[in-house]
Amino acid sequence: MNAVYAPAEDDVVARELHGEFIIIPISSGVGDLEDEIFSLNETGKAVWDKLDGKKKLEEVISELTVEFEGSAEEIRNDVTGLVEELLKRKIIVEN
């Protein structure tokens, strides 16, 4: 939980498009398939905004626990779940 994560800036582009937050892989080997982009829901976007390459994951979880309803355990599971998904797809990197 001391790890620090950040968007893979050279490999993905994050855009807000007509109210939808999307992540577009632009480098080879990032994401799954050529044509795929990723859409983050409101919760996902809130997590994404905090993965700034400075905050430790524990701090991210703490902040979200204050901002969102839900038990600390639920929020921890959500955040780590999302981070795992993004890491697997190389959309974020560990700093």
Using CB under 8 A as the criterion, which residues of the chain lie in contact with another protein when the complex forms? 13-15, 17-20, 22, 24, 26-28, 32, 34-41, 43-44, 47, 64, 68-71, 74-75, 77-78, 81-82, 85-86
Torsion of CA 23, 29, 32, 37, to 10 degrees: 20
Q: How far is the CB of 17 from another protein (least distance, A)?
A: 6
Smallest CA-to-CA distance from 82 within 24, 53, 41 is with 41
Nearer to another protein, 53 or 81 (CB): 81
Tell me how far apart the 2 most distant CA atoms of the chain are, in Å: 38
Nearer to another protein by Cβ, of 57 and 82: the residue is 82
